[in-house]
Amino acid sequence: MRRPILIASLLLAVLFGCTPKAELPVYLDENKALDERVSDALSRMTTEEKIAIIHAQSKFSSPGVPRLGIPELWTTDGPHGIRPEVLWDEWNQAGWTNDSIIAFPALTCLAASWNPEMSALYGKSIGEEARYREKDVLLGPGVNIARTPLNGRNFEYMGEDPYLAGEMVVPYIKEVQANGVATCVKHYCLNNEETHRHSVDINLDDRALYEIYLPAFKKAVQEGGSWSIMASYNLYQGQHVCHNDRLLNQILKGEWGFDGAVITDWGGCHDTDEAIHNGLDLEFGTWTNGLTMGATNAYDNYFLALPYLQKIRSGEVGTEELDQKAARVLKLIMRTAMNGNKPLGNKCSEAHYAAARRIADEGIVLLRNENGNLPVKADAKKILVVGENAVKMMTVGGGSSSLKVQKEISPLDGIRARAAQNGAEVVYVRGYVGDVTGSYNGVVTGQDLNDERSAEELIAEAVEAAAQADQVIFVGGLNKAKHQDCEGKDRKELGLPYGQDAVIEALAEANPALSVVLVSGNPVAMPWIENVASVVEAWYIGSEAGEAIADVLFGDVNPSGKLPFTFPLALADSPAHQEGMAFPNNGETYYEEGILVGYRWFDTKQIPVLFPFGHGLSYTTFEYSDAKLNSSLVKGATSITLKVSVKNTGDRAGAEVVQLYIKDNESSVLRPEKELKGFQKVYLEPGQSKTVSFRISKEALQYFDADAHEWKAEDGEFEALVGASAGDIRSSVSFKYHN
């Protein structure tokens, strides 16, 4: 007998004096349809009980219906690991000693793997950890589009392209939910800046909304089947998204048929009437009427608590909306907390650490590699490592994704351990001092990173050491401090902070065998690029950081990651930073660039970039054949097939991400120069070839016609472009579309 059924039977015995063999009430019978169970539970609940389940009872939980044995619903951040336990009413630590966890790579790194199998592995692993920690809702993953490289939270998202983010988010969701843990995909939507995230009011044309900012959420809902979604803090068309009629009622629940629960971002609800009518289901994190965090009756003052109940009691509003909200929350509880078939989960297992490392190995991007500088030579006997990010713990900080890890291997430790296998000595010098703090909501790194020496002294030390080294590895970039990669704040500049450019220039002059490893969740400017032999984008990798970085630097893993966003040459080149446009924004804001986000902008406007979207090198080389189509006409709903063969022409095994872009050659409306419509990662032994095929159908050719409110493909000529990045098209072939 399954555990919940047994418990239910016993409960019945107590409640109704029946024997355990008596028939189960419908809401507890997992053989019955979900909607039937929900209606049955609803029919047994009082108005007060319905009100209770649609708002929080603590920082991260809502109460369930204790009288009916319906359990509490426990949420947790997300998205890179399971957050440590906090006190009931506070953000600070509960002080548990059994909640240390694995930090998986940040979602930018996952997206950079361009491998949906890695997404599935990620979802499975983090889902099992959430399940083991008895969480019902994982607050993630995030698929906000990287509109600007200054957004402090880009590291939590999956890049600038809706197709890539959409393809990558679906397997993550499915695998998390296979554990009886709901994903809560965030932050729906248009949460593209942090500074004024509670008050910025986004306005944009419908083409941009439907073509750029919504597709990944739509896939998360319709293909991933996410059981919940987190509404974002910002406003859209003058109304907070947490109770935005258009985004929640009309689009999410209406057009997409979302059957899960809409959960507020923490403190995102601002109005009882709007919350009642505009599609919100579950309220968390509100700071009401000055009853700030921790006031004992704060939860009763939530917008969907007593204020709502009073409106029902006075007859001002009916109970139809309440029933709908309670039904969605009950469904969420039945899918998760009351799910009698869910696996047990596990945490911090060897398999999960291995998964974290594998995902990182696939997501690290080799941006530049001149003269075979990397991998590190086996006969390099003296390796110099420079830079704060070689030693700084990156899992603490950055906002709600901050973690309390069981282990975090620093880049320096990873490099040292691997170099020892070659009998090489590793020397470390600091190079620069950046952020020496190391705590978040009571979790402390315990590292003392203080160094009182001047920038000149640190550079002089680094230069002297570099002159004596066989190879030099600088590990820098950004970090999780405010105005770097951090929630609630945005970056202030594209350039590297803390004077790192000067350190890199000096090192490059002292030793040409220099590799720059960037730890960041965003693009950075690289004024020194021509002087540096190798550049690696290593993202925030979490627990296995050092090991994965060493895997790639020493060539044990052949890099295969590709950029999920463009690295611009200068901030002013970026679409959100054109002349006359401000960032960050507050109040009413218009997205002037419309659909031209990321590479769509740079390509269409022919603006040169530092590294294009989709770029990433390998230690081997790949040759593409000419792309061939099986027909040159896509007719109506039919599709055609494109085939291209890719050969590994180097001497080591490696993987290439073959990318398919579509260009509309004849169009009556503005179309981007090209748009990603397919990708496949292929593993090839030296000399091996594989044929990759893509189906091209009408869906890949469409734009959103805002006036007609429908997707349209126009008759005429299109081009299929196949390449290794948006800036490296290897083959193109044209075809026609006819309705």
Q: How far is the CB of 231 from ligand BGC (least distance, A)?
A: 11
Residues 6+ apart with CB under 8 A from 172: 110, 119, 120, 122, 123, 141, 183, 224
Active site residue 265: yes
Distance CA 445, CA 392 (A): 9
Q: How far is the CB of 398 from ligand BGC (least distance, A)?
A: 11
Q: How far is the CB of 192 from ligand BGC (least distance, A)?
A: 13
Toward ligand BGC, which CB reaches closer, 265 or 673?
265
Among 704, 713, 718, 716, residue whose Cα is nearest residue 642 = 718
Q: How far is the CB of 79 from ligand BGC (least distance, A)?
A: 8
Toward ligand BGC, which CB reaches closer, 77 or 485?
77
Toward ligand BGC, which CB reaches closer, 194 or 501?
194
∠ CA 653-655-658, rounded to 5° = 145
Q: Are 696 and 662 in contact (CB under 8 A)?
A: yes
**Which listed residue (264, 400, 560, 725) binds ligand BGC by CB under 6 A?**
400
- The residue written with tokens 């009556």 in the block is 668
Toward ligand BGC, which CB reaches closer, 265 or 547?
265
Q: Are 83 and 90 in contact (CB under 8 A)?
A: no
Q: Are 191 and 144 in contact (CB under 8 A)?
A: yes
Distance CA 513, CA 386 (A): 13
Phi, psi of 515 (to 5 degrees): -115, 130
> Residue 79 burial by CB count (10 A; 0-12/13-18/19+): exposed, middle or buried?
buried
Toward ligand BGC, which CB reaches closer, 299 or 353?
299
**Which listed residue (50, 174, 186, 677) binds ligand BGC by CB under 6 A?**
186
Q: Which of residues 97-156 bind ligand BGC (CB under 6 A)?
A: 139
Q: How far is the CB of 242 from ligand BGC (least distance, A)?
A: 11
Q: How far is the CB of 86 from ligand BGC (least distance, A)?
A: 9
Q: Which 8-state DSSP code applies to residue 63?
A: -
Q: How far is the CB of 60 from ligand BGC (least distance, A)?
A: 7
- Structure tokens that stand for 546 in this block: 């050092």
Q: How far is the CB of 103 from ligand BGC (least distance, A)?
A: 16
Residue type, 305: A
Q: How far is the CB of 400 from ligand BGC (least distance, A)?
A: 4
Q: Are 650 and 689 in contact (CB under 8 A)?
A: no
Distance CA 347, CA 676 (A): 36
The DSSP bridge partners found for residue 660 are 678, 722
Toward ligand BGC, which CB reaches closer, 69 or 78?
78
Phi, psi of 98 (to 5 degrees): -120, 25
Residues 6+ apart with CB under 8 A from 497: 434, 478, 484
Toward ligand BGC, which CB reaches closer, 80 or 218?
80
Among 541, 538, 514, 510, residue whose Cα is nearest residue 524 = 538
Cα distance from N-terminal residue to C-terminal residue, the chain: 56
Toward ligand BGC, which CB reaches closer, 266 or 718?
266
Based on the shown chain and the rule CB under 6 A, indicate whether residue 190 belongs to the binding site for ligand BGC. no
∠ CA 698-660-616, rounded to 5° = 155
Residue type, 282: L
Q: Where do runs of H (alpha helix) occur along 545-674?
A: 545-553, 599-605
x/- site string to ligand BGC, residues 247 to 266, per CB under 6 A?
------------------xx
The catalytically annotated residue of 77, 99, 265, 281 is 265
Q: Which 8-state DSSP code applies to residue 247?
A: I
- Structure tokens that stand for 394 in this block: 């990156």
Tallying the residues shown for the chain, one arrives at: 739
- Structure tokens that stand for 209 in this block: 């909304």
Toward ligand BGC, which CB reaches closer, 486 or 532?
486
Q: How far is the CB of 139 from ligand BGC (least distance, A)?
A: 4
Toward ligand BGC, which CB reaches closer, 252 or 684?
252
3-state secondary structure of 41: helix
> With b meaning 16 or more CB within 10 Å and e meaning fewer, what string describes 241-251?
bbbbebbbbeb
**Which listed residue (42, 54, 77, 358) binds ligand BGC by CB under 6 A?**
77
3-state secondary structure of 687: coil
Number of residues that bind ligand BGC (CB under 6 A): 7
Active site positions, annotated: 265
Binding residues for ligand BGC, rule: CB under 6 A, are: 77-78, 139, 186, 265-266, 400
